[in-house]
Amino acid sequence: MSTPAPSLDDLIAREYQHGFVTDVESDTIPHGLSEDVIRLISAKKHEPAFMLEWRLAAYRHWLTMREPAWANVHHPPIDFQDIIYYSAPKSQKNRPKSLDEVDPELLRVYEKLGVPLKEREMLAGVAVDAVFDSVSVGTTFKEKLGAMGIVFCSFSEAVQEHPELVQKYLGSVVPYTDNFFAALNSAVFSDGSFCYIPPGVRCPMELSTYFRINAKDTGQFERTLIIADAGAYVSYLEGCTAPMRDENQLHAAVVELVALEGAQIKYSTVQNWYPGDKQGKGGIYNFVTKRGDCRGDRSRISWTQVETGSAITWKYPSCILRGDGSIGEFYSVALTNNFQQADTGTKMIHIGRNTKSTIVSKGISAGRGQNAYRGLVKILKSADGARNHSQCDSLLLGDRCGAHTFPYIEVKNATAQVEHEASTSRIGEDQLFYCRQRGISAEDAVSMIVNGFCKEVFKELPMEFAVEAQKLLGVSLEGSVG
């Protein structure tokens, strides 16, 4: 018949919009990793002795480890000696006191990304701790938060100004021995965000960080540490995007969350790192360790993520439900298109009594994308009355992509209730035809159907993020009908 539909592939294939490289003079150190490099990083950052010792211990441990091979992802070997482990924009040497002092070139980058700091500051009421390459260059709303006793600053700053908090909590959720990439991060991390909410304080605004990889060959090793003290509440947003480039880039971040008694942390991510081109060339390798510790009774940690970028995503935001009656939640949308690979999921470790966890995972595969959900629900002997509900749905667009589900359930307490639901469906030609027969273009129809599929996760996102996420899915899926 003479009415060819735009193929699914055409519709998914929109060029990455955030591809550009900025000319900012970078203060970089040579390629490669050694104890000397770690000493140099620590010295450049004027770190106290405990930090250097911790980094070195992590490095020595890392040397004994092997890169994990269990994930359902494939890539050429990474040469860890071919990476530059520290790069800071020059302007960092004289720390900007306000946005006016920030390198205008940096500000333009954010403008291009649609994240004008000034506008966000004024319009959105969002405090932005912007990480450009490895060092924070703009921190806003500090005074207002400071008056409430909230600390929200770059990690480097926290090391200088609140070393006691850093020393107490750093590595307490993700020890450097945890895994290969966490050990590497611990040894070389250059910066990140730090947040402390004092007892009983409800943080009045969404805290937000925009990450960006820039300087050539620079691995990104951020470290984020968020502590909600007893009865505190914080919602934290993380969004990333990266410029177009050819060589693969390693990104190995660590995020640690600590929720004390009755505290609540909501951590939302929209991840849109450069996914590589349509032939699978380039793109970010995203090996992230994210973990929250519900350390106090009745504490609650929620992870919500929308993962559309990166060539490889390896990421399992997890909750340790230690406190009695604590709650862990994981809501995820992961989309892979072209040659993208994602192996993502969560771990819910129930230790305390009457702990509860919820997992909602939505995987979307298009093109030749491979999408795996990997999740562990572990109920320890001590966890009387623990409950878990998991729901894993996969949506396939086209016939060359794949969806995989690896749920692991370990129950050591007979009073536990664990439920797991899973489904895999192909985006129906029926659904698509139905929408088109109503006058809706194929592209809009795909976007509508996929957004419907993800609705349960999007409703967990803060409003402005949800809108952004929906747009992102639309863009990432263009060309996917066939």
Partner 1 sequence: MAADHSDKARASREPMLDVRDLAVEVDDKPILRGLSLVVNPGEVHAIMGPNGSGKSTLAQVLAGREAFTVTDGAVRYDGRDLLALPPEERAREGVFLAFQYPVEIPGVSNVYLLKAAVNAIRKHRGQPELDAMEFLALIREKMKLLDMGDELLFRSVNEGFSGGEKKRNEILQMALLEPRLAILDETDSGLDIDALQIVAKGINALRSPERAMVMVTHYQRLLDYVVPDFVHVLANGRIVKSGGKELAQELEARGYGWIEQEAVRERAVAAK
Q: Which residues bind partner 1 (CB under 8 A)?
A: 1-5, 428-431, 433-442, 444, 448-449, 451-456
Of the pair 17, 441, the CB lying nearest partner 1 is at: 441
Of the pair 50, 434, the CB lying nearest partner 1 is at: 434
Return the structure tokens found at 156.
Answer: 């480097």
Longest dimension (CA), the chain: 74
Rounded-to-integer distance, Cα 122 and Cα 144, Å:
13
Kind and range of the H or E element at 271? strand 264-272
CB of 280 to partner 1, least distance (A): 29
Return the structure tokens found at 232.
Answer: 């505190």
CB of 64 to partner 1, least distance (A): 47
CB of 373 to partner 1, least distance (A): 18
Of the pair 20, 433, the CB lying nearest partner 1 is at: 433
CA angle 110, 92, 258 (to 5 degrees): 75
Of the pair 272, 447, the CB lying nearest partner 1 is at: 447
Of the pair 143, 430, the CB lying nearest partner 1 is at: 430
CB of 128 to partner 1, least distance (A): 31
CB of 289 to partner 1, least distance (A): 31
Rounded-to-integer distance, Cα 285 and Cα 245, Å:
13
Rounded-to-integer distance, Cα 247 and Cα 241, Å:
16
CB of 350 to partner 1, least distance (A): 29
Instruction: For strands 26-28 and 387-396, give the pairing.
Output: unpaired
CB of 450 to partner 1, least distance (A): 9
Look up residue 406 and give its amino acid: F
Using only C-alpha atoms, the chain has a radius of gyration, in whole angstroms, of 22
Of the pair 222, 393, the CB lying nearest partner 1 is at: 393
CB of 403 to partner 1, least distance (A): 17
Kind and range of the H or E element at 254? strand 254-259
Burial code (b: 16+ CB inside 10 Å, e: under 16) for 447-462 equals bebbbebbeebbebbb
CB of 433 to partner 1, least distance (A): 6
Instruction: Count other C-beta atoms under 10 Å from residue 467's C-beta.
Output: 12
Instruction: Count other C-beta atoms under 10 Å from residue 410's C-beta.
Output: 12
Look up residue 355 and give its amino acid: T
Return the structure tokens found at 341.
Answer: 């690979």
Of the pair 7, 172, the CB lying nearest partner 1 is at: 7
Of the pair 205, 440, the CB lying nearest partner 1 is at: 440
How far, in Å, are 24, 92, 171, 172, 221 from residue 168 at the CA level?
36, 27, 9, 8, 21
Q: Look up tokens 């959720």; give the residue.
A: 173
Of the pair 264, 361, the CB lying nearest partner 1 is at: 361
- Helices 429-437 and 442-453: crossing angle in degrees, nearest 10, is 120
CB of 423 to partner 1, least distance (A): 10
Kind and range of the H or E element at 185? helix 180-188
What is the DSSP track for 41-71?
HHHHTT--HHHHHHHHHHHHHHHT------S
> In a 10 Å sphere around its CB, with 0-12 CB exposed, 13-18 middle and 19+ buried, how is residue 423 labelled?
exposed
CB of 111 to partner 1, least distance (A): 30
Of the pair 382, 424, the CB lying nearest partner 1 is at: 424
Of the pair 184, 397, the CB lying nearest partner 1 is at: 397
CB of 479 to partner 1, least distance (A): 16
The closest alpha carbon to 26, from 86, 101, 113, 107, belongs to 86
Of the pair 129, 460, the CB lying nearest partner 1 is at: 460
